[in-house]
Structure 1
Amino acid sequence: MRINANAALDVVTFGEAMAMFVAGETGDLATIERFTKRVAGAELNVATGLARLGLKVGWVSRVGNDSFGRFVCQQLEKEGIDRRGVVTDARYPTGFQLKSKVEDGSDPQVEYFRKGSAASHLSVADFKRDYFSQARHLHLSGVAAALSPSSLALSRHAAQEMKQMGKTVSFDPNLRPVLWPDEAEMIKQINALAGFADWVLPGLGEGRILTGHDTPEAIADFYLSMGVSAVVIKTGGDGAWYKTAQGEKGQVAPFLTKNVVDTVGAGDGFAVGLISALLEGKALPQAVRRGNKIGSLAIQAIGDSEGLPTRAQLDEED
């Protein structure tokens, strides 16, 4: 599927994509000899999921002038994601990662090789107003904010500009402590970004780190007091809990998952479901339910985005 070059976008997002090598068998990564090459990246996962549901999605980034960069661009073409905002940077490489295979539902081992990557050099210069303004919604992730000071500046600038243009903004904290100088700086910057969002989507553990509160409602109130419209907290086996600025709140039950094979990407799948439903005008409880559903599908396939459904597959699940 190709997107008309002059067509408006439903969603725009930005961040880093990496080549990902997934182990073909269980065991320590040092012993594995066979890997399958895929793509990875939180924001790209969300873009992929939204595009599969039929939304027009733009993804902005920098990739190296190398085989990994070409591979990322090929995947964008395959998924029908608009890549006019992707720059090929001859100075820096495309990052990659190694990911172990697990069969017991535990989190896989992941090793990153991304320091100094092309995407870490994202900056305010990559905010092309004419391009971003085509979208009615901006999705932000804490991963992009953590890549580098210049990428953090882009995150702040994009959020401010899109809000001023009257666009909606969603924000998934997606904490990556190893990428930040220290926890205090991570908390400060992530919470500052959350204040620009309409919809904030932390996990329960993330919310506890970021706010110092223990309960979903207290975490939600922390962000609602900043002017956020709605907070949806992923509560793992309990599904998700939400609260709006109008005081509407509730718990949405999870979808039973029989075969958990890869937990990475569950939160991105949740974001896909929630954002797509809200942009379709569905009520928040319905949107949270779809988020739970797609999150459950994501963890039943190996790979960060392989389990994200097409519109037809999502309808079949209903």
Structure 2
Amino acid sequence: MTLDIITFGESMTMFYANEAGELHEASSFSKALAGAETNVAVGLARLGFRVGWMSKVGDDSLGTFILNELKKERVDISEVKRTAGRQTGILLKSKVESGDPDVTYYRKGSAASTMGVHDYPGDYFKQAKHMHMTGIPPALSKNMKEFVHHAVDHMKKQGKTISFDPNLRFQLWPDEQTMIHTINEIAARADWFLPGINEGKLLTGLDAPEDIAEFYLNRGVGLIVVKLGKEGAYFRTAEKTGYIPGYAVDRVVDTVGAGDGFAVGIISGLLDRLPLEEAVQRANAIGALAVMAPGDMDGLPSREKLTEFLRVMENQKIGGSL
């Protein structure tokens, strides 16, 4: 087997409220798959890439649910381990009419948090062309942080490219300084770094996207793309720099998963060998599709849906300029 992309981390079973309002007032919930890395894996698989996801899940019904959902999406799970005596993580999410929902996690001591270097499947990882990771795994446990560094060391030695989305989860870290130090340490070893503007400000102490990008460029990162929400994104490499405008959406339904959709766009665009500007444009498009859908991955498109969205947006732009 050969893979285009490998990723790893913790997937959880999400129970999301069926009616809008405060989470504690919700009386009925629906079930879905959740997890930053699995969002990206599913998004890339829907675009036709061969994607592998490695993790641990509990030997429980929720672990079975996660594996079955990923199978449906054609994500390879052949190296996922089931752990007896450890539960699969869950989260509860409120329903909102607009903006950010309230999310509560129940993941402490989960099966995924026990992942360590001894679980690393070297032959499986090295068959992939590219590795994607987020800042969530190193926050889950000391041994998972060691897994992250081992994976980075191994993949860099193999000459693979690495993308890194900080995906900051403040509640998972012991303190802010530990988070900043750890994330920046990992970011410096990535080829493509994808912070949001507020993440970049916190991690660097700088305000402007240009300065944030320069901070990481000076530390050896090849490409920095700073996500600017509805304004689009700013990108920088040693050779080029620029802003790519975002897409106006009729209504923001749920912002969770937008950053993961953006990562899908960047990774898929660069692996498709698109010009950098077009890869960032694709990332903006998938991010826009993500916020217009209710679930974390409901808006992640197929190739056909992505092409149609870009065509409609281009026609609107042309029509508006006449």
For normalisation by structure 1, the TM-score amounts to 0.96
Contact 1:64-1:94 at 8 Å conserved across structures? yes
Cα distance in 1 for partners of 2:272, 2:74 equals: 19
Matched residue type, 1:96 = I
Write the deviation string for residues 36-61 of structure 1: whole angstroms up to 9, x where unpaired: 10010000000000000000000001
> Pick from 103, 107, 112: which aligns with 2:100?
107
Give the CA deviation at 1:298: 0.5
Is 1:192 the counterpart of 2:185 in the alignment? yes
Matched residue type, 1:72 = I
Q: State percent identity of aligned pairs.
A: 53
> Pick from 81, 86, 89: which aligns with 1:92?
86
Contact 1:94-1:119 at 8 Å conserved across structures? yes
Matched residue type, 1:213 = L
Is 1:51 the counterpart of 2:45 in the alignment? yes
Cα distance in 2 for partners of 1:302, 1:49 equals: 15
Is 1:72 the counterpart of 2:66 in the alignment? yes
Aligned to 2:259: 267
Aligned to 2:161: 168
Cα distance in 2 for partners of 1:57, 1:123 equals: 21
Matched residue type, 2:54 = V
For residue 99 of structure 1, give the secondary structure of its aligned residue in structure 2: strand
Write the deviation string for residues 185-204 of structure 1: whole angstroms up to 9, x where unpaired: 00010001001110000000
Aligned to 1:3: none
Cα distance in 1 for partners of 2:17, 2:228 equals: 29
Aligned to 1:241: 234
Cα distance in 2 for partners of 1:8, 1:317 equals: 30
Aligned to 1:42: 36
Cα distance in 2 for partners of 1:126, 1:264 equals: 30
Aligned to 2:194: 201
Aligned residues: 310
Cα distance in 1 for partners of 2:99, 2:62 equals: 28
Moved over 4 A (4+): none
> Pick from 22, 25, 38: which aligns with 2:19?
25
Aligned to 2:211: 218
Is 1:16 the counterpart of 2:10 in the alignment? yes
Write the deviation string for residues 40-97 of structure 1: whole angstroms up to 9, x where unpaired: 0000000000000000000001000111000000011100000012000002100101
Give the CA deviation at 1:316: 1.4
Q: Structure 1 stretches of 5 or more lacking a match? A: 1-6
Aligned to 1:158: 151
Aligned to 1:4: none
> Pick from 274, 286, 296: which aligns with 1:282?
274
Give the CA deviation at 1:294: 0.1
Matched residue type, 2:301 = P
For residue 81 of structure 2, give the secondary structure of its aligned residue in structure 1: strand
Matched residue type, 2:144 = S
Cα distance in 1 for partners of 2:119, 2:299 equals: 30
Write the deviation string for residues 274-306 of structure 1: whole angstroms up to 9, x where unpaired: 100000111111110000000000011111111
Write the deviation string for residues 176-226 of structure 1: whole angstroms up to 9, x where unpaired: 111111010000100010011100000000001101111111110111111
Aligned to 2:113: 120
For residue 130 of structure 1, give the secondary structure of its aligned residue in structure 2: helix
